[in-house]
Chains A and B, each alone.
Chain A
Amino acid sequence: MTLGYVELCARRLVGFALVLLVLSLMTFVLARVVPGDPARMALGPSATPEQVAALQVEMGFDKPLPEQYLLYLGNAVKGDFGKSLVTGRPVTEEIMSFLPATLELVIVTICIIICVAIPLGVITARYRNSWIDSLGRVFSLTGVTMPSFLFAILLQMLAATYFPQWPILGRVDHTLGFQASITGFMTLDALLCLRFDVFFSAVQHLVFPAIALSMSGIGQITRITRSAMIEHQRRDHTLTLRSFGVPQRVITFRYLLKLSSIAPITILGLEFAALIGNAFVVEMVFSWGGFASYGLEAILQKDLNAVMAVVMVAGIFFIVANLVIDIILALLDPRLRFKEAK
């Protein structure tokens, strides 16, 4: 059984390495088909042709494409994505400074999704076809159909109208003069520095962006949990327990819950890509100043080195999240472990 775990993880890692490789190739191709000259872009219109040529050599653009790719790959493995064409600073450094803000937002969002959606799915399935179910359905449908940016804007409007004191932009109250410099997570750093006023402010700032970002996930996951519950409720194994008088609440909250959380957690992994995409929108509306804002800026400015790095990092994000989810799934579902071990 332990071998099952090791094998499961090892297989996934190999698969993920492959994904990253292809991803790097795709971003590379994407960056190289761009019309226009990155070197000229970096130097601005006033640069002389000699300066441009010199930078081209420095960036390795004079070499044949396959060699350029290998160079890019080699550097990327070392964590070096070159220099930003706009600011001239190393891209990795810039991303690392923006990443924690987004990570903090995304982690909180996922926690909200799991804590709201799975119980909601269970309850709506349990009280199927009642008003609770209808209400839950409207709620999850709204989550799925309403665009994230609209949610974000509506929340801002709501806050501005009813809670004028509540902050709706940024990560923390700047007048507190605090820099998240340990982990980069505002809440965590505030706690580590025992600055509870900062912590409180950071949490306040987090609430609306996290809600806006979680709505679509909540909608999806609630629906999937509900239908999984209903499906398993119909199965023989539920009938077995019912036949022997095991109370419905035990069947629902012990037996069905564990079995029915497998499907939504699997989907959560796939939803991750969409979540990162929505983070772009939500960060913009709330001026969050995270990785996504940085990425959006890089894309709009055609800062190719930064764009490539942003896509790669988003891919790694997705892969790590799915690795974690695979491990959780293997813990939940013994069948996955046997399959590997047989």
Chain B
Amino acid sequence: MSAVSSSSAALQPAAPKVLSARYMAWYRFSRNPAAVIGAFIVTSVILIAVFAPLIAPYAEHVGSVVNFRARHLPPDLEYLAGTDKVGRDILSRTIFGFRISLLLVIGVLGVSVPIGTILGLVSGYAGGMTERVITGLTNIMLALPPLVMALAIGNVLEPNLTNAMISVTLLWWTWHARLVYRVTRTVASEDYIEAARLSGASHMHILFREILPNCVAVISVKTTLDAAYVILFGASLSFLGLGVKPPTPDLGSMVADGRQYLPDMWWGVLTPGFAIFYATLGFNLLGDGLRDMFDVEA
């Protein structure tokens, strides 16, 4: 930055100072309280998930503990969020529930983001038949109601976490492919791509060194926002009965369990429900903040 102003200073005495892109991005992010809160929430969710055994007051309640004398206890000092139908501490189970949610996020996005990115890059750059086939496929996938498909696939296989992950992943890449395709199309038509081609760069170089860096901002925003949707989606799936097998705690199925005892034993729904909301809110706020910061549309 300083280099520019000093050299142009010789030519143009009163040239106004140009703000660096990094400064502007940081300014946008730090002046956005929602984004900072989002970053805080996401960090806390990750920390809770990682250190769940240390934080949870009754870590053993994650398993199939049964304590009928303590069933359906309202929140008190001993059980801060009350107990469920077999007397397990809801707070401890909720804390461990974050683990499953994050596991799902990592599993789904860890596979679908790279796949979607590569398909989007290739279809946007290659054009022709490749482009038509891949975009056609993504458009068709978009016509499928994701929850219905995930339910159908997951259930046809066998309802458990891995299959839920697989079924969600099978559908999720399309959104990334679409997004990266759109960005790639724009970038690929820029003069600098043609210039690189004409100066002898290989296709690999152009895809991964020239185009991909221009997609990073969009991908990271989309991935952050998607983390929220995956959590939501996973919760919906397990709420409907497709997800981890009991007794492993999962936020969605905890809500489903608690629902049976409404409205009297409201705490069974409230804590896991709030936990889902907390995590999705965090990722959403952070994603929005990043979007403003990078000034991209995702």
- Residue from B139, B142, B156 in contact with A34 in the complex, judged by beta carbons closer than 8 Å: B156
Are A277 and B143 in contact, CB atoms less than 8 angstroms apart? Answer: no
CA of A78 to CA of B153, assembled, Å: 26
Q: Mark A44-81, 1 if CB is under 8 A from B, else 0.
A: 00000000000000000000000000000000000000
A15-23, A110-118, A174-182, A334-342 - the one binding chain B: A15-23
Closest-CB distance, A19 to chain B (whole angstroms): 5
| B142 A150 Cβ-Cβ under 8 A | no
Contact in complex: B144, A161 (CB < 8 Å) = no
The answer to whether the Cβ of B240 comes within 8 Å of any Cβ in the partner chain is: yes
**A300/B155 contact (C-beta < 8 A), A19-B143, A157-B262 known:** yes
Note all chain B residues with C-beta closer than 8 A to A203: none
Determine if B147 and A319 form an interchain contact, defined as CB atoms under 8 angstroms apart.
no
- Size range of the chain B interface in the assembly: 35 or more
Also in contact, A314 and B277, with CB within 8 A (given A153-B262, A299-B155): no
Select from chain B the residue with minimum beta-carbon distance to A285: B259
Q: Does B103 interact with chain A (Cβ within 8 Å)?
A: no
**Are A273 and B281 closer than 8 Å at their CB atoms?**
no
Q: A148 near B262 (CB under 8 angstroms)?
A: no
Interface size on A, residues (CB 8 A): 48
In Å, the complex CA distance between A33 and B142 comes to 22
B232 touches A274 (CB 8 A): no
* CB-CB nearest in chain A for B241: A300
Whether B74 sits at the interface, judged by CB under 8 Å, is: no
Q: Which of A145, A284, A296 contacts B281 (CB 8 A)?
A: A145
- One digit per residue, 1 when the CB lies within 8 angstroms of any chain A CB and 0 when it does not, for chain B 245-264 equals 00000001001100100110
With known contacts A161-B263, A273-B145, A310-B148, A153–B273 Cβ distance under 8 A: yes
Binding site for B on A (CB under 8 A): 15, 18-19, 22-23, 26, 30-31, 33-34, 137, 141, 144-150, 153-154, 156-157, 160-161, 270, 273-274, 276-278, 280-281, 284-285, 295-296, 299-300, 302, 307, 310-311, 314-315, 318-319, 322
A-B contact pairs, 7 of them (CB 8 A): A26-B144, A30-B156, A145-B284, A154-B273, A160-B262, A277-B147, A302-B156
